[in-house]
Every structure is written in structure tokens, then in C-alpha cells.
Amino acid sequence: MSSAEPVIRFERARKEYPDGTVAVRELDLEVYEHEMLVLVGPSGCGKSTTLRMANRLVELTSGRVLVKGEDIALSDPVALRRRIGYVIQNVGLFPHRTVGQNVGTVPALLGWDARRTRDRTAELLELVGLEPGVYSQRYPHQLSGGERQRVGVARALAADPPVLLMDEPFGSVDPAGRRRLQQEFWRIQRELGTTVMLVTHDIDEAVRLGDRIAVFSRGGKLEQLADAVTLLARPAPGMVTDFVGAGRAVRLLAIGELAIGDLESVPDGGSPSAGPVAPRLAPEAPLRLGSRLDDAFAALAASGGQAAPVSGDGGAVVGQLTPDGLLAALRRMTAQLPDLADDTAARTTG
């Protein structure tokens, strides 16, 4: 994926338990700076074990894990965990501490002064959509599940870690809240540029969030490593194809984005318009350039098959989307994919 040095590198990493169970087998995997790499697969495939190898919550049987070029086996595990953010499904907030105190946990352990910790806490609560003046003094039991998860993300980001590890972070939230949290976290990660490894069993979540997706099979074998479009359009034969499922085209809609080339011009007085139409039409546009294609599909369905207007960054309508345009957008997404043989050869090389 990149010629740059990876932030995390697994080199022939293996975890075998005393009873002979192999959780992860000879894993070679690299995670690059600013990337969100998602590990996905069925229960018992070793994805959470892989994640926990990166902060030594699970010790390797053999092989190495390097974080920013340093062999973590030579690091103090407590110091290592203080500089790697970690978010789990049930958050693990301290119930007897306020939201502000929870977020400030790691900065306090690192010796930050009170003002610096307070300022950082307020900054992060705002980032995750929680008003500091309202939430800082609340306790975890006074929050909804989604709010607790937001606090967990803020706490993990408090010391500006180079790596954020997330294990089923949205699994305990209701479906509607889960989608909102996914969108919010995607925005935060893009804004901050944090390097993220995220574990999920949900293929929809994986392709919606991941820059690349690593698909594991039972016994800890990496089956395919690819970007979301490649994974959906060209899944490796066998286990990956079965796991991704038959709804691949629908999932492509969820990750594709509208581009100007997908649109037709808007008729102006019965004639095709050569450029953007008047800004007065912008409030009527339900779609914007960059909207996800599943939202575009919903807009077309709601319009009864009529073309849907699309606005640009300035708010003016810049074109209209037709059903043919939506199909063209899907073709655009998959037009530059490598041959399956090339993709299969690259599964474990990124």
C-alpha cells in the first residue's frame, strides 16, 4: 500500500495456547500511518487476539510485533499501553469517576498538569459531540450507551496516541445509534489522522469504515487483505466469498460517493444547462457531491424514478442524478480494480 515505514508491523506473529489451540498463525501484516485497518471474520478467527498482541494484552508465542519500529517485546507493557489508545465494546469507564476524570486518566498518569489535562478533556469532548459544560461533571451511569461509547473514544485519544486499537467498539449500541457513531468516528479519524486498528464481526461496518480490510478465517489465518471496493467486487474464492455474502452490490452503494462525472446537467427552461443552475434551487437539493451512493439510491427511490438534483460545496445545484448515473457510478468504482489473480497474490502483502 505504501513505501513508508508502517506504524505497526506483525512479522510471522503466532499465538498458540498450551492446549494446542492456534489463535493466530504466522501473521505478516502492516498498518500504515493515518490508515484505518479493519480486522473482520467469524467468531474464533483470531482477530481480537491479533489486536491485543499490539499492546501486549496477549503475548506472542513466536514472531514479532513492532510499533513505530520498536519491538514491543522489549518495551515495558504498562508504558506501552499508556501510549496506545484502546477502546472495547463495553467501554470500561470508571463508574466512580466523572466523565472529565475518565477522559483525563492517561494524561494524569503521564504527569500532565491540571490545566493542560482540563483543556485537552474539553477539546476531546467537543470533538466527539459532547458539550464539556454539560457532560464533564456527569457520571457514566447518567449517560446513554452511545454517550458512554463517545467518552470511551475521547479517553482513548486523550494523550494523542500514535495508534488506536478498537475491539467491537460499537457492538453494544442500538442499530440506529451504531450507524451514527460509525459516521461520527469516521469523521473524527479523518480529521485527526489517527492510525486505527478496529475489530468487528460485521462486514457492513468493516467496509463502511476501513481503508483496508483484513479478513480472517478460523484458526487465525489471514485470507484476504484489500480495500473495501476490491473486497466487495473481487472477494477471494471460498471462505471470503461466503463471508462477504450475496449482497455485495448493495454494500458497494454504502461506500461509494457521488462525483461530478456521475451527473447530468439540469434543464434550464427546457434546454440543457451548460453549468450550475441558480443558487435559489439549492435548498431543494437532497444530495451533495460526496454523498454516499446508498443515500443517492434512496433519493432516487423517493423521487419515483425522476432525476434527483445534487448540490456542490457552495450550495448551488451542479447537476442531477438519474438511475443511469447511479449505475455509472458503480461501474466507475470497479473499473480500475486489478485482476483477481493479482489481488489474490497481494492478500498478505497489502
Residue 17 — left, alpha, or beta (φ > 0 → left; ψ -120 to 50 → alpha)?
beta
pLDDT tens digits, one per residue of 201-251: 889 899 989 999 999 998 889 999 999 989 988 899 999 999 987 777 778
Residue 282 CA to residue 291 CA, distance in Å, equals 15
Confidence (pLDDT) at 170? 81
pLDDT band at 184 (very low <50, low <70, confident <90, very high): confident
What is the mean pLDDT of the segment spanning 108-130? Answer: 89
Considering 22-36, 134-148, 325-339, the range whose residues carry the highest mean pLDDT is 22-36
Residue 269 scores a pLDDT above 60:
no
48-75 pLDDT, tens digit each? 999 999 999 999 999 999 999 999 999 9
pLDDT classification of 337: cutoffs 50, 70, 90: low
Q: How confident is the model at residue 279 (pLDDT cuts 50, 70, 90)?
A: very low
> In this predicted structure, what is the pLDDT of residue 280?
36
- Mean pLDDT of all residues in the chain? 84
Among candidate residues 168, 172, 237, the one with its CA nearest the CA of residue 200: 168
134-146 as b/e: b if 16+ CB within 10 A: ebbeeebeebebb
Share of the chain above pLDDT 70, in %: 89
pLDDT of 341 reads 42
The predicted structure's pLDDT at residue 46:
93
Q: How far apart are the first and last CA of the chain?
A: 5
Between 77 and 313, name the one with better pLDDT.
77
Query: How much is the pLDDT for 31?
Result: 96
Specify the range with the lowest mean pLDDT, choosing from 156-160, 177-181, 316-320: 177-181
What is the predicted pLDDT for the residue at 303? 84
What is the spatial order of strands in the sheet that 22-31 belongs to?
Answer: 22-31, 8-16, 62-67, 70-71
pLDDT for the residue numbered 212 = 95
Q: Look at 179-183, 201-205, 232-236, 300-304 and tell me which has the smallest mean pLDDT.
A: 179-183
Between 136-140, 174-178, 281-285, 312-316, the lowest mean confidence (pLDDT) is in 281-285
Identity of the highest mean pLDDT range in 14-18, 87-91, 127-131, 334-338: 14-18
pTM for the whole structure: 0.78
Q: Quick one: pLDDT at residue 172?
A: 67
Q: State the average pLDDT over residues 107-126.
A: 89
- Per-residue model confidence (pLDDT) at position 281: 35
pLDDT higher than threshold 60 for residue 338 = no
- Residue 339's pLDDT is 53
Least-confidence region, from 103-107, 167-171, 205-209: 167-171
Going along the chain from its start, the domains and CATH numbers come out as 8-254 (3.40.50.300), 260-334 (3.90.1280)
